[in-house]
Structure formats: structure tokens, C-alpha cells
Amino acid sequence: MLGTVIAIIHPEYDALTRKNENMKIGTVKPAVIAAAFAFTAVAASAYGTNDYEMILKTGANDDRVEMGKLFHEAGESGGGVAEYTKAAKLFYVAAAEQHPVAQYWLSRMYSEGLGLKKRPDKAFVWAFSASEKGDAEAQNLLGVYYTEGTGTDVDMEKAAESFMKSARQGNAKGQYNLAASYESGAGIEKNPVKAVDWYKRAARQDLAVAQYSLGTCYEYGIGVQVDYDAAILWYSRAANQGDARGQVAMGKCFELGRGVRADPANAAAWFRKAAGRGDPTGQIKLAECFDKGYGVARSPQMATELFAKAAESGDESAQLSYATRLELGIGTTLDKAKAAEWYARAAGQGSEKAGSRLATLKADSAAIKARTEAARGSELVFKGLYLGMPIDDAVFTLESLLLEAGRGGTLLYVTAGKDGGKQIKEGVAIEVVADDAGAVESIFLDNSTADALFASVSLSNDEFIKTFLDAYGLAELPRSDKTVPIVLDGRQVGTQRRIAYSHESGYEVVFFDSYVVFRTGNMEDSMKLGLCRPIGSFQVRRTVGEKDQAKHFN
């Protein structure tokens, strides 16, 4: 159905952006097919037995429009092409006689291709004509056409003008779209306060999409002060009308305890309602609940089924999650071939992680082994890892090592590095950095990963260092032993001892030893930022100068 309108991106607590929202443009009378026949019976008594033909040929334009609406609704309710065709004929006759409401409906049918051939150009012309006559629905529709470029060039300023005309006449959809324009600054000067005002007007007319948007304004302080109680009020009104986004928002409020007491069961219940409406976000959130046993009995199988449904709808994150579960056999039969298919779909939508997993699944282990053996003459190769190796090889090698060490199920991904290049980052445990070409420049493994790969859990850090040096013939290398500052937000919060062994080929091995964090310091933040490494961690990297070392590694 036609109906994409301006949708403003509101920040979510777990994401910065969302895709544009959709809504129906037209207001359809809440009748069913039976109502169409009831109308037909009334028309028949007024015009004769051949009511449709009589109204089409000699009826008043208002009657043509009303009968057209009912035939249109009958088509939507499953009546098919015949009903749409009758509706289009009725609208066309009235529209040709300059009836603005008929012109609006005829515009919709041309844009939707229902009952007649889809013609965006004619859709625009009829909406423009009805808009010029002051029809508020047509003015909103014309704004949508300018927004989408339907039958005309995209023109956000003209779109905002049309939404303004519609909104000032009290049309709820026009008010919503004008509010969205003010919020984004699309075609009009950005003004969050005015956006809230127009959202309120539309929301008070029970337009669910406006109620949801108003709720987000209150939740995140867009044009108003943050007010979780008000957010809950408007989310609940949208949700109780069946708006899936409102239902998801209610679930998140119960999940986070925003405006209500945190309640896992209620959160899951709202996610279930949204999922039941086929909403991908609701399906994903409910899947997460089943995965963790949050508010529902834990069921990996149900979680996988829900991820699959969201994936089928085209949601990129769900496609990645579903592919991951297929690759690992979580809640379903392990199927790497099928996983590769879903990774390919997600990668086609731009998912870096999916592209990385696809490369790993297609990796040639023999070729990786050959490249590793060729590097032994010039690089320090430990456990199949070395500087200069392709970063995709590093993913495959690390996963294989973790699997051998009993830590299977850890999937690694190549993503863009924070300072350019590429990286593999698994929390604070693993960090591999490569240049733009994908050649590895640095490998960091935390103490738990080192213990897993080198079976060093029972060793002290000094013993681990000695074991590593002896194993790879590094004991005679020049050693530097430094206590370096830990700097967070421009101030020193502690110190850490680092022991480095430098090789003439240009690499160095750094072992992280004891640290002192000042009373004002934040150990957790320092760890997350890589400013302070756990004792027993180590890093193999290209030798860098003091200035660059401070920039990149401290």
C-alpha cells in the first residue's frame, strides 16, 4: 500500500538510528464488505435495481464518492480487482466533475495501481487539483508525493508547505507530517518545540503514529523536558491501538524501568504483542527474552524461530543473529551452508559482521596454513598468529585456537577500526588491528585468552613471560621495563608496569604487569579503553616511537 511518509529518527537506548516508518495515507471508513451491500441496498431503493450503473451514470457526485469508498474497502477486504475497478470508475466520473474528495481518492488509486494502471504522474495531478480546492487529505497526500518524488521531483519545501496547509485544517496526518518536518528540519526550519506542539494535536486525535512519536519526545527530551510518565502515557495510547512501535516502546520501558517499575514479565508481554503483529523489532526483542529467560521460560528454540521470522522480513540484525545461530547450532540444527546464505543476505544490506563471517566460512584452511608457514622465516609466528597476516586469516586462526582450547562458540568479526584500517575486537579480551589493506599490525590477547591458548592458568605472570620467551627464542632480545601513566579524560588515573622485548625486524612483544589505579581512577573504564591491561595480558605489535606509543597504546 502507498503510504510512506516522513519519519523522524528518534534515538533508542540501544541504537542511534532506525529505518523510516510507514503509515496509511487515506482514512478508510470502518465498515466491512457487508456495509457495502447495505449501502447498495439503500442506493437501489433511490436509483433503481441497477444501483451501481445508475449512480455511476446519473448519481450525485457525493453518492459516487461514498459508494466508491465502500467498493474500495470491499477490495481491501478481499473482494479483489472487480471492486477496485468499480471504485476507480466512480471516483473518476466525480473527479472529472471537479469533486475534490473524488480527486483525492482517484489519486490514491493511481498511485497504488488498484483498479487501474499505476500512474504516478496522474496520481500527482489529481492530488494537486484536490489540494488546490482545499481538501486537507489531498494536501497531506501531495506533501507525501513531494517527499517521495511520486509523479514529481522531490521537493521538501513544497512538502512542508502542503503538510502545513493540511495541518492547519485539523487533518491529523498532516499535523503528524508537519511535526516530523519540524523535528528533522526537512523543508522547514528545524524546531523541536513546534514539532512537539503538532505531534500533540495529532496525538489528541488518536493518531497512533503521532502518539508514539510524542512518547519518544518525552522519553528523550526532544522539544520538551524528559518526562517518563508522559512518555508512558502516550506510548500506552499508541500501543493500545495496536501500534507495534508503541508496544515495543512499552516493553522497553518495563525492561529499563522508565516511568514504571522494571518488570520482565510485562516487558516480554508487550514485546509479544508487537511480535504478534509481525513487527521485526518486537520479534527480535521477544527472541532476546526467550534466549535469556527474561520474563518468559528460557527457550533457545523459540528465540531462533523469532529471529528467523524477523530475518525473513528483511531485518539486517535479525539476519545476522539467525545466521549466527545456524552456524553454531543454537536452538536449531547446525547448518553452516544455510548460515552462509543468511550471512550473504545481511552482507548484501551492508552488514560488516555478516561479510566477515561469510569470509570465515569460505576460508581455505590449507591456504591459510601455507601462508603461515611462509611467514616463519621473517616473522614471530606464535600459535599460527603473526604480524602482517591477512586479518581474515587471523579470525579463522583465533577461532580454531579457541575451539581447541575448549572455548568454542566464540565468533569473531572483522570490522572498521576506530582510527581507520580494520580490526577484530572481542570485548576487552581480543584486539587485532590491521592497516587499510588488512595486514595485521598488532595482536593483543588478555590474560584469560592467553591462559586458554598457552595453558598458563597455573603460572604467575613472570613464569608465563619466561615460558613464552623460551618457546619462541626471545629471551635474549633487548628488554625495557617501564611504569607508564594511565591517562583517562586528560588526567592521570594510575600507572602500569609494562615489560617489552624488541626485535630487530621491527616488532616488539609487550607483557602487561602490575598496575596501580589511583583512588580517583576508574579501573573498568580504563580496561574498556585499553588504557590499563589485565596482568598476564600481552601484545605483539610493530615497534613505535614514544609519541606514537602514547597516542595509540596509552
Handedness of CA 11, 12, 18, 24 (dihedral sign): negative
Q: Considering the domain boundaries, does residue 6 fall inside one? A: no
Out of 410, 445, 480, a domain closes at 445
Map residue 430 onto helix, strand or coil: strand
Find out whether 512 and 534 touch, Cβ atoms under 8 Å: yes
273 vs 215: CA distance, rounded Å: 18
Domain end call among 381, 415, 445: 445
**189-244 confidence digits (pLDDT tens):** 999 999 999 999 999 999 999 999 999 999 999 999 999 999 999 999 999 999 99
Checking if the pLDDT of 105 tops 90, the result is: yes
Mean pLDDT value across the chain: 88
Do residues 399 and 432 share a domain? yes
Q: Is residue 406 part of a domain?
A: yes
CB atoms within 10 A of CB 353: 20
Strand order in the sheet with 507-517: 414-416, 422-426, 430-434, 440-445, 538-542, 507-517, 491-502, 479-488
**CB burial readout 251-278, b (16+ within 10 A) else e:** bbbbbeebbbeebeebbbbbbbbbbeee
Question: Are residues 548 and 467 part of one domain?
Answer: yes
Phi, psi of 384 (to 5 degrees): 80, 0
Single pTM value for the model: 0.82
Distances (CA, A) of 509 to 125, 481, 502: 71, 12, 7
pLDDT in tens, 509-518: 999 998 887 7
Q: Secondary structure of the chain: what % helix, strand, coil (to 5)?
A: 55, 10, 30
DSSP state letter for 122: H
Instruction: Classify residue 113: in a domain, yes or no.
Output: no
Q: Does residue 111 lie in a domain region?
A: no
Contact between 67 and 52 under an 8 Å Cβ cutoff? The reply is: yes
Determine, yes or no, domain membership for 303.
Answer: no
Task: For residues 492 and 435, state if they share a domain.
Answer: no
pLDDT digits (tens, 9 = 90+) for 337-380: 999 999 999 999 999 999 999 999 999 999 999 999 999 888 89
Domain that holds residue 526: 459-553
Number of domains, the chain? 2
pLDDT at 444 over 80: yes
At residue 31, the pLDDT reads: 34
Domain end marker among 419, 445, 471? 445
Secondary structure class of 418 (helix, strand, coil): strand
475 and 546 together in one domain: yes
Is 469 within the bounds of a domain? yes
* pLDDT tens readout for residues 132-187: 999 999 999 999 999 999 999 999 999 999 999 999 999 999 999 999 999 999 99
Q: Say if 234 falls within a structural domain.
A: no
pLDDT per residue as tens digits for the range 238-258: 999 999 999 999 999 999 999
Question: For residue 435, is it within any domain?
Answer: yes
